[in-house]
Amino acid sequence: QVQVEESGGGLVQPGTSLTLSCAVSGVAFTMYGVGWFRQAQGKEREFVAAISPNGDLIDYENSVKGRFTISRDNAKSTVYLQMNGLKPEDTAVYYCAAMHGFSTSARPYDYWGQGTQLTVSS
């Protein structure tokens, strides 16, 4: 009964900030890497950011580098995605996923959340 649950999405204006949360339960959280992916309407799912089990490896998709920050709090079994300087093109359903290891590809991830909608519009 592994559970991955995203929260924090919503409707925001361009240039503002928002933080998404991903709570993971049912696994040894400290052994699992976590990734964020997003899928815009009519588009394929794409990588956003990922963090390794111990936090020593972090990667971002090019368009979010310098704007988004991924972090993890092992005491809370939660990963965060701090998003600054949001743009309309960031609009998508954001998915959190967990795997035993680290990857910037979606395929190796075993457990996925249901997604949370982010809409950036004026």
Write out pLDDT tens, residues 71-102.
999 999 999 999 999 999 999 999 999 999 99
Q: Quote the DSSP letter at residue 91.
A: -
Which residues does the chain have with pLDDT short of 50? Answer: none
Q: What per-residue confidence (pLDDT) applies to 14?
A: 98
How big is the chain, counted in residues?
122
What are the C-alpha distances in Å from 54 to residues 8, 63, 97? 24, 25, 16
Q: Quote the DSSP letter at residue 33.
A: E
Q: Are 37 and 95 within 8 A, CB to CB?
A: yes
Q: What per-residue confidence (pLDDT) applies to 3?
A: 97
Which of 83, 73, 92 is closest to 49 using CA atoms? 83
